[in-house]
Structure 1
Amino acid sequence: MEKHYKGYLIDLDGTIYLGKEVIPAGKRFVEKLQELDLPFLFVTNNTTKTPKAVIDRLAQEFDIHVPVETVYTASLATIDYMKEQGRGNRVYVIGESGLVDLILSQGFVWDEKTPDYVVVGLDTEITYEKFATAALCIRNGAVFIGTNPDKSIPTERGLLPGAGSFISLVATATQTEPIMIGKPNSIIMNEALHVMGLEKEQVIMVGDNYETDIQSGLQNGIDSLLVLSGFTPKEAVPDLPAKPTYILDSLDEWTF
């Protein structure tokens, strides 16, 4: 029998939609949460899109209508983390506009020489010079932050290098381990709970990816629901080293 949760942390790609196709059960799941007035937060490692861009896509492509406050990206978690550290506001960022513009809009100042933080995320226009600048800044004492550990990202062309691959390169070049923000790390989960105003035992993490979504729950003492609609296939379930709290073929099977 399912426990009744006061809040839901939900993945997007593979859970609510798959690439460019909506997952009907995922759409119904979100609409049921809205109908019951249950708080939810989409927690995503994607740093290339702003929360506004995410909700626009949900509305335009999938007919899912949610307020911008329901989207919590690794970019927002990175900003919240840096603000809490109180170290300073100078940054150098490897990333796309969804990360760079968001950071700069929150009072951080661009610095390519002696920043307080170097933030590395996914950048499809990466250059050697960007890596070189990041490495020199870290060697000059900047705190090295990785937005998310995803080593590859699924695309129509196949699996392409993700933020984790770029972060690994910078870590190798500087012999410095990054502070990692995104799922399954504790920073994004703790920040998401803070945004929701709820405790770990009051929420559940819902997702399709055992390595990120479900590990976010397992590693942080949060119940988890693995839905077999995306990344982790049904045949992999018997060999999972630690089981999620719940495993469902479809979100239609969930009772609130």
Structure 2
Amino acid sequence: MTADPVLLDLNADLGEGFGDWSMGDDAAMLDVVTTANIACGGHAGDPGTMRSALRGAAARGVAVTAHVAYPDLQGFGRRFLDISPTELTDLVIVQVGGLQAMARAEGTTVRGVKPHGALYNALAHHDAQAAAVVQALRELGGELSLLAAPGAAVLAPARTAGINVVLEGFADRAYLSDGTLLPRSRPGSVLTDTNAVVDQALEIATGRRVRADDGTWVDLPVRSLCLHGDTPGAVTLARAVRDRLEDVGVRLEAAL
């Protein structure tokens, strides 16, 4: 019997410009990925960038998630904010709701939520903020999926609330031995060498594991793989990853 093909979603963080300032090549990335995580005003993104990214995703049949974040434009959402759970719930609802409204205007829908930066990392261990994000998803109707890291604190409350969880790994980020990401403040946290990124993507896709910075292997049973749109050479890296995964028979399709 022929084994079933490995299914994998390739996602990227897009729409991360603001006003006259732009970041990354959204159009080129949308030709590669199967899911677009679109910034919606927390760490980046304004109505125009949101609409443009949504229009591009809709034209290509790319799935959309709301890339929610702390309200931190100056820090690009990469600084932890010790805000109250109630405030965080409201912020997530407002960001998702704005993107949903713009998505309707562009003839598409928002299928899930992908926390960004420091908020994503906080949901791995911060129970109160994890509960706040789950509460936001419940109040948004409970039908949006959540992209999260394996082992994150947010997984249990999300599943208890009936939220569909999609586990995610990163092709272009280094890992610690506990399965969390190597902090960006440390050397080597972002992988930019094409061979290294492709090799890590392939190992995650087919081996369901990743080599940590200390040389040990970490289990990583994920359904979606992130390629950051702001990594140097992001489009070249993304195309190389997609080509290699398809070469070995991995089937690429949205997980949401």
TM-based fold match above 0.5: no
Greater relative contact order (CA < 8 Å, ≥ 6 in sequence):
2
Which has the higher Rg, Structure 1 or Structure 2? 1
Which TM-score band applies after superposition, normalised by the shorter structure? 0.3 to 0.5
State the TM-score, normalized to the length of structure 2. 0.34
In terms of fraction of residues, the more strand-rich structure is 1
State the TM-score, normalized to the length of structure 1. 0.34
